[in-house]
Structure 1
Amino acid sequence: MSLFFKIADHPAEFEQIERLNYQTFVEEIPQHGENSSQKLRDRFHEENTYIIGLRKEQVIGMICVRNQRPFSLDQKIGKVEQHLPVQVENLCEIRLLAVDPAYRNGRVFVGLTQALIRYCLKMGYDAAIISGTTRQQKLYKHLGFQPFAYLTGDDKAAFQPMYLTKAIFEASDIGKILKEPVNFMPGPATIVDEVQSAFLSSPYSHRSKEFDHKLTYIQEQLTTLTKAQYVQVFHGTGTLANDVIAGQLSLLNGKGLILINGEFGNRLKDHAQRWQLSCDHYEVEWGEAFQYERISALIEEKEYQWLWTVHCETSTGVLNNLESLKEISQKHNLKLCVDCVSSLGAVPLNLEGVTFASGVSGKTLGSYTGLSFVFHQEKVRPSLCLPRYLDLGSYVEAGGVPYTQSSNLVEALAQALKKYEQPNDVYDQIKNRSEKIRNVIEEMGWKVLAPSEVAASLIMTIEFSEEKKAKTIGDNLFLNGFLLHYESSYLQKRNWLQISCMNRISEKDIKKLLELLSRFRDKEDATILSDYSF
């Protein structure tokens, strides 16, 4: 199995850290005196965060981070900032870089440094300092560290104060080979080179013919993709698009029904409350599918005018049955409104019979966050009862451009939409990725929240029983170059971790992800991952 980098959190790991610390800073570099236990616990042990490199269960490398003042280096040269040639705001100290002599082939040093940089960026540090042994100055400089101040220690163990910033690291030999993390997040999307280039094109006026043609192309692509009659493009997030829909519902006299089976259904409820909409709520447990016969029965009991729901409930991975909801709405003559923020571009989507629907540019479509869409089946007139920016009718009346819009975001989206010339290819790729990952996750013995018959292919939610296990896994996978979704408050509250399959990801990276995940299984459930077929 390949090298694995993580934050130390087990007693066995800390014992190995103390032995490696002794081996390096007593036997090899005579910085401390010998002892019979042949273990050395650092004086700042309780304040240190140890990033370790593992080969199977053996700690073969380590480095630690500490942000409590005074630093060790403060005590040697005075306040560090007085000597630094750069201005910093959030500084940390790096100490105890050590690698088992049998593994000093470069890979461990590089891996530790890359994990360290990811950790420091995640924690918001803008610079790091270290006391680097003079015996390894070439190595430290290779990693990007720059000397400052003056030597400390003595002839037997001399140390050079050194510092590292993000900019210096990126220009270093190691920084140049640091890969972007593999993105298994449900947003923002991984931006391909062609879309980046389009975004970086010279901006032009939103009143130009060029802009008009590009926006028309986007609208045609989106309506073709969804079978909607019309779509308006807004500058903002999906929250803005749902506020626009709520604004339209506020113009109706009748009562509505909101369906809830996750976080984003709850957010529709919040939209309705803020707009003071008259409505009831039908709610089931998170991760469960709606009972459509029950919904129909509720509608028969009361006179509702509209129905509002989420298509793909991102918080749980449940794909609600849009066709069933369309049938119910048609039967009871309801205006159906759907949040399609996550499902747009990820699964086949037919908005025929849907009055209003929302979507965004920054998820599966693969463009930058910043544009949102409201699909509608009929032409909408402006209303003086609505805020100007949220008035869907004003966009219709102005031909889609009532106010200033960014040509850069429009150019990027137009380029991203080109992959939907064959939309089924995109849907199949997402589905195949999802099935591969889900099969292995379940063979590991972990539970995917949404049952397979109602699961969305673009995202899966994994439940854990151990306290904070989802965060532990997410944090450590990030150190190894993988982005998973676990930091939203609703996920942390439930100890859930999510894997999104919406981005284009190689089979090599999928297999690597699953290998890393396998390290967190219970030992009795261990299975040889290389036996899995991809």
Structure 2
Amino acid sequence: MLEFRRATPGDAEAIHRLNYETFVEEIPQHHSNAERRLVDRFHDTNTYWIGLADGQLVAMCAIRDEHPFSLEQKGVTLPPGEWIEVRLLAVTPAYRNTRTFAGLMRAMLMEATERGVEGIVISGTIREQKLYRRFGFTPFAEAVGTAEALYVPMQLTRSGFMQSETARILRPKLLLAGPVELSSQVRSTLAVQPLSHRSAEASRLLHSVQSKLSDLVKLPHVYTLLGSGTIANDAVAAQLIGRGVIIDTGEFGHRLIDHAERAGLEFDVVPLSGGRRLDLEQIEQHEPDWIWTVHCETSTGRMVDLEALRHYTRKYGTMIAIDAISAVGTKLTDYSFAHFVTFVSGKALRNAPGLAFVAMKHRAVPNPSIPRYLDLAGYDPIAFTQSVPLIQAMDIALTELTDVEIATHQSKLDVFVNELLRRGVPLEIGDDQAPGIFSITLPENLSSLELGLQLTFHGYQVQYESSYLRRANCLQVSTMGWTTERDMQQVATYIGTWLQKKTATRESDGVRHGNLGGPNDESFDRGVLN
């Protein structure tokens, strides 16, 4: 199992030995010695990032921000701005045709981001110029060194990396519940010059999107707002009248309560009674005018059984509102019994974030007493400035979202779960498990932050940084985007291996940044100037 982390004082001896093997025995920069160890002259001011395979050091790099840099001492003038210098980049031979180099690359760029500098400067061996250029490094000075060890001063910015050949090919694989992995056609559409939102073409596109969404959720009226699920739920809160009941499902059930409180609604709260079952007797006691619940509680990956609400509204005519933000697109659901359903573009509908939808059984009625932006009756066809590229991309994404594609969420989740079980990971799986998102709560002696960070180094972004997930020491993997069964199997393999072998505490190393690259098999052959 390959892991990356900042080095500790206990790693010093292994670092000195890898330094010797690379920059004495392999690259003749220093004289040999009987101890076969080389202590870097900047060792005390270096920050080392290291790669460990089953606890053994197989890769490293040293980072400094104290001047003069090694390059400056060799007479090289740095580019304008603040930089960190990366040196001693070394990978043992057995790990040079693996993902190791890319993992170190992510560590370097994350360090640069954390320190708030322009980027990285290195002395890249002349033998590996092609590899460095593929990662976005560009030369900024003439080569330095000897004929046996010739190096080129090179720089790399975050934007340079993201525009590089490698970054384009090896984008981060998003296993998030938003933003999600998009298709290439959707990504291309998002890059076009916006049309006027008042144009006939914009109206045509919006009508197409709303028609497709109406067919998907089985409700006749769909209103499109520019924003997130928060604005959609605020719009629903503005429509509710009388006294209602809100179902407490967890974190996102609590958010519905907050929406209702801010809207000045009168309501009672009823918790789920064991799993996804609704306590209809308790609901009946309140004789509500409306009931509001989430369909998929995102914080746990659990679904609420909506059949009880379907029967309830048939019996009493009660208004039903459903936050289906993490449900729509993950499974085929008939919401025709509901009066309001909210969902968004940036989850299982597989578009970029930015569009919020409210589907309704009845056409919205104008209400001059509420804020204009929340008055859904004005959204016909477009009430305010709208993002036409988002609408265009939504139209394409919905064309791609066939019934067959929706069914893949369950099959991908099955692959993920079966691989975890095969590796001995204890799981609690009920009939309320959502097909789009799976939660893994770690034992107290392990850290979800550390596991999430390691997956980031390996090129997979999962959810672990939200405050509610950190409190629960929980990590989540989502199938919502254009992911594959192979992606899910590989992530489950790493999680299962990590849980078996990791003995770290819940304390992280303090690095909590987004991913800067994707899964890769880049080769690496030589180090960086000592």
Indicate the TM-score class for this superposition, using the shorter chain for normalisation.
Answer: 0.7 to 0.9
* 1:480 paired to 2:458: yes
User: Given the superposition, is the C-alpha separation of residues 138 and 446 from structure 1 closer, same or farther in structure 2, using an over 3 Å criterion?
Assistant: closer
Gaps of 5+ in 2: 504-530
Work out which of the residue numbers 352, 365, 373 in structure 1 matches 2:336: 352
Q: Separation in 2 of the partners of 1:495 and 1:146?
A: 41
* 1:317 paired to 2:301: yes
User: Given the superposition, is the C-alpha separation of residues 138 and 444 from structure 1 closer, same or farther in structure 2, using an over 3 Å criterion?
Assistant: closer
Q: Separation in 1 of the partners of 2:174 and 2:390?
A: 21
Q: Report 1:171-182 matches (<5 A).
A: 174-175=166-167, 178-182=169-173
User: Given the superposition, is the C-alpha separation of residues 504 and 175 from structure 1 closer, same or farther in structure 2, using an over 3 Å criterion?
Assistant: closer
Identity level (%): 32
Q: Report 1:140-159 matches (<5 A).
A: 144-148=136-140
Q: Which amino acid aligns with 1:23?
A: E
Q: What residue number does 1:20 align with?
A: 18
Give the CA deviation at 1:12.
Answer: 8.1
Work out which of the residue numbers 431, 434, 442 in structure 2 matches 1:456: 434
| TM-score, normalization by structure 2 | 0.83
Q: Separation in 1 of the partners of 2:423 and 2:11?
A: 24
CA RMSD of aligned residues (A): 3.5
* 1:404 paired to 2:385: yes
Q: Separation in 1 of the partners of 2:483 and 2:439?
A: 18
Task: Check the 8 A contact 1:73/1:131 in 2, yes or no.
Answer: no
* 1:189 paired to 2:180: yes
Give the CA deviation at 1:132.
Answer: 5.0
Task: Check the 8 A contact 1:5/1:111 in 2, yes or no.
Answer: no
Q: What residue number does 2:84 align with?
A: 92
User: Given the superposition, is the C-alpha separation of residues 333 and 168 from structure 1 closer, same or farther in structure 2, using an over 3 Å criterion?
Assistant: closer
Work out which of the residue numbers 241, 244, 248 in structure 1 matches 2:232: 241
Moved more, 256-265 or 196-205: 196-205
* 1:50 paired to 2:58: no
Instruction: Report Cα offsets for 1:142-184 as digits up to 9, x if no partner.
Output: 75544557888999988765422234445666556x5112221
Q: Separation in 2 of the partners of 1:291 and 1:215?
A: 37
Higher-RCO chain (CA-CA 8 Å, sequence separation at least 6): 2
Give the CA deviation at 1:387.
Answer: 0.4
Instruction: Report Cα offsets for 1:188-224 as digits up to 9, x if no partner.
Output: 1222122233334443333333222222221211111
Task: Check the 8 A contact 2:411/2:485 in 1, yes or no.
Answer: no
Q: What residue number does 1:279 align with?
A: 267
Instruction: Report Cα offsets for 1:200-258 as digits up to 9, x if no partner.
Output: 44433333332222222212111111111211111111111001011112xx2x22211
Q: Separation in 2 of the partners of 1:282 and 1:25?
A: 67
Q: Separation in 1 of the partners of 2:183 and 2:495?
A: 26
Give the CA deviation at 1:264.
Answer: 1.0
User: Given the superposition, is the C-alpha separation of residues 341 and 210 from structure 1 closer, same or farther in structure 2, using an over 3 Å criterion?
Assistant: same
Q: What residue number does 2:424 align with?
A: 445
Q: What residue number does 1:59 align with?
A: 57
Q: Separation in 1 of the partners of 2:337 and 2:481?
A: 29
Q: Separation in 2 of the partners of 1:72 and 1:505?
A: 43
Q: Separation in 2 of the partners of 1:366 and 1:193?
A: 11
Q: What residue number does 1:501 align with?
A: 479
Q: Separation in 2 of the partners of 1:45 and 1:235?
A: 52
Q: Report the secondary structure of 2:499's partner residue.
A: coil
Q: Which amino acid aligns with 1:508?
A: R
* 1:220 paired to 2:211: yes
Give the CA deviation at 1:42.
Answer: 7.8
Q: What residue number does 2:275 align with?
A: 289
User: Given the superposition, is the C-alpha separation of residues 476 and 119 from structure 1 closer, same or farther in structure 2, using an over 3 Å criterion?
Assistant: farther
Give the CA deviation at 1:283.
Answer: 3.3
Q: Separation in 1 of the partners of 2:94 and 2:60?
A: 12
User: Given the superposition, is the C-alpha separation of residues 373 and 487 from structure 1 closer, same or farther in structure 2, using an over 3 Å criterion?
Assistant: same
Q: What residue number does 2:395 align with?
A: 414
Q: Report the secondary structure of 1:357's partner residue.
A: strand
Instruction: Report Cα offsets for 1:93-114 as digits up to 9, x if no partner.
Output: 32321122x3485556743554
User: Given the superposition, is the C-alpha separation of residues 9 and 490 from structure 1 closer, same or farther in structure 2, using an over 3 Å criterion?
Assistant: farther
Q: Separation in 2 of the partners of 1:48 and 1:378?
A: 62
Q: Report the secondary structure of 1:520's partner residue.
A: helix
Q: Separation in 1 of the partners of 2:68 and 2:269?
A: 55
Q: Separation in 2 of the partners of 1:511 and 1:10?
A: 32
Gaps of 5+ in 1: 526-534
Q: Report the secondary structure of 1:212's partner residue.
A: helix
Q: Separation in 1 of the partners of 2:363 and 2:165?
A: 57
User: Given the superposition, is the C-alpha separation of residues 179 and 356 from structure 1 closer, same or farther in structure 2, using an over 3 Å criterion?
Assistant: same
User: Given the superposition, is the C-alpha separation of residues 436 and 246 from structure 1 closer, same or farther in structure 2, using an over 3 Å criterion?
Assistant: same
Instruction: Report Cα offsets for 1:108-144 as digits up to 9, x if no partner.
Output: 6743554446635764654112355688778756755
Instruction: Report Cα offsets for 1:410-458 as digits up to 9, x if no partner.
Output: 11111111124x42x1232110000110122233333446x33110011
Task: Check the 8 A contact 1:118/1:478 in 2, yes or no.
Answer: no
User: Given the superposition, is the C-alpha separation of residues 45 and 267 from structure 1 closer, same or farther in structure 2, using an over 3 Å criterion?
Assistant: farther
Task: Check the 8 A contact 2:210/2:222 in 1, yes or no.
Answer: yes
User: Given the superposition, is the C-alpha separation of residues 173 and 501 from structure 1 closer, same or farther in structure 2, using an over 3 Å criterion?
Assistant: closer
User: Given the superposition, is the C-alpha separation of residues 74 and 393 from structure 1 closer, same or farther in structure 2, using an over 3 Å criterion?
Assistant: same
Q: Separation in 1 of the partners of 2:408 and 2:317?
A: 37
Q: Report the secondary structure of 1:522's partner residue.
A: helix
* 1:428 paired to 2:420: no
Task: Check the 8 A contact 1:146/1:163 in 2, yes or no.
Answer: yes
Give the number of aligned pairs: 501
Task: Check the 8 A contact 1:93/1:128 in 2, yes or no.
Answer: yes
Give the CA deviation at 1:495.
Answer: 1.0
Instruction: Report Cα offsets for 1:444-497 as digits up to 9, x if no partner.
Output: 333446x33110011000010145621111111111111111111111121111
User: Given the superposition, is the C-alpha separation of residues 227 and 171 from structure 1 closer, same or farther in structure 2, using an over 3 Å criterion?
Assistant: closer
* 1:304 paired to 2:288: yes
User: Given the superposition, is the C-alpha separation of residues 134 and 371 from structure 1 closer, same or farther in structure 2, using an over 3 Å criterion?
Assistant: closer
User: Given the superposition, is the C-alpha separation of residues 42 and 108 from structure 1 closer, same or farther in structure 2, using an over 3 Å criterion?
Assistant: farther
* 1:130 paired to 2:118: no
Q: Separation in 2 of the partners of 1:326 and 1:103?
A: 60
Q: Which amino acid aligns with 2:332?
A: P
Q: Separation in 1 of the partners of 2:22 and 2:187?
A: 46
Give the CA deviation at 1:71.
Answer: 6.8
Work out which of the residue numbers 366, 373, 381 in structure 2 matches 1:382: 366
Q: Separation in 2 of the partners of 1:194 and 1:153?
A: 47
Q: What residue number does 1:532 align with?
A: none
* 1:164 paired to 2:150: no
